[in-house]
Structure 1
Amino acid sequence: MPAARNGTSPRLPRLLAALCDRLPKDRIVVVEQVLGTVAGPDDPPLGRFIAAQAAAGLAQQLSEITRVWRTEAPGMTGAGLALALATARSFPRPAPAQVAVSGPMGASASARLTSGVAMEVIRSARTSLLIASFAAHGARNVVTEIGRAVDRGVRVDLLLEESTQASAAFAALPDHVHVWHRAGSSGVLHAKLIAADRHTALLGSANLTDRALSDNIELGVVLRDPHLVEPLVDHFRWLLAPENGVMRPA
């Protein structure tokens, strides 16, 4: 990547790295493919592609990349920038936390919708899913995705608040899905968590309900650093251990 023309440290590599941090690999590959077909930052097909991006803040993020591309490396072709993006995608680095929100979002918000993030985390599970929610109803897409996880051999533990009848939302799942309630009458289970294996977790304010995942004003964070996710999973596994008397099978 060439140095910025004003002699300062170039911003373009940092912007490309930030795009890789935000989007899953398959979405980055799509951006690379589009870049590979354009001549430069002002090529109309690139502008149309950017304008068509519906994810909150993504069009603005891509527009900023285009603006800095025009300023710092005007002679670079789209194929050259696609190669730089592919390099950024393949470079190993810790995955940053990402914001997930429900409800209204401004066009400039650098966040993702809770509903989409929840589905993505569930899909990423290969051995175990640990899900906690105070309330649950509707959310059929989430229930369907959990069922698909069960079909591919993932162990699923659902920690649900008994007083809200949350377990009814998951009645269609196979019998070998493990449902847990709080033991005793002291306090309620109010946590909201989706943890895939020991590598990815979504935690925040949203219950597993249609309104919480899409319409309510909710806030969460996605963690993809195993060093952060593993203590969360260990805590909930401790809660499930029979000898600790905190949770009981439903």
Structure 2
Amino acid sequence: MDHGSKPSASASAAGKDRDHGSMPGMDHGSMGDGLADAKDGYKLTSTTTKLPAGKEAAYRFRITGEDGKPVTGFAVDQTKRMHFYAIRSDLTGFQHLHPTMDDNGTWTADLAALKPGKWRVYASFTPDSGPGKGKDFVLSRTVTAPGDARRAPLPAAAGSADVDGYTVTVRGDLMAGMTHPMTVSVSRDGKPVTDLRPYLETYAHLTAFHEGDQAFAHLHPQTKVESDKGGPDLAFQAMLPKSGNWRLFLQFQTGGTLHTAALTLRVS
């Protein structure tokens, strides 16, 4: 089984854009671990508990507020009002999507084919009004793809990973619950890559999931986007809240191609 991902098409919700002020280097630590479907009056709701395996499928959901009504006002974070993730229980099959919202507040995420097994889906958003205005949330639910669900062993912790001819190297000794510097470097054929193109207003998008409970973490590079070419080194102030193995998915863009590198990081 592949512990990486395949890029998927995405679209943003219609309406007037408003940036809620994410800054390079934010670790979104206030979002919590993303394992609950409700927090501070906001809830991720869906009638879907099963999705077909082996073919594309749409997952529909709403974010409701304290009054139980759908929330329709969302701030823009990294050019999108909603970031949606899916990961299998063995941390394979990673997908990062940008769903669309209709006038009634129902979001639709068009998932690529799922392998059989238990999956967790995450909605990452920031309300643009109400009591949660300006606060980052990650809520999640589980869904099952029926079939023969064979688990893949988590690859051993490693300092680098290869994808599409590129090598991604991660440097930094992380301790749970503490912020530490971390550097991600991108090379190709042993040479530094300096043509990283901006993706979602950064040179890289990094998402991490904890082995066992699938706790969620989202890291932004501190390296500012100052041109249409970046790299090879990207600096992070990284905080992962739990010890153990984390599966990291680093997405970066060269030319018109989005690449996703996956590696296991051990946190003390």
TM class by smaller structure: under 0.3
Task: Point out which structure has higher relative CO (alpha carbons under 8 A, 6+ apart).
Answer: 2
Question: TM-score if structure 1 supplies the norm length?
Answer: 0.24
Which of these two proteins has the greater Rg computed from alpha carbons?
1
Q: Which has the higher helix share?
A: 1
> Under a length normalisation based on structure 2, what TM-score does the superposition of the two structures give?
0.22
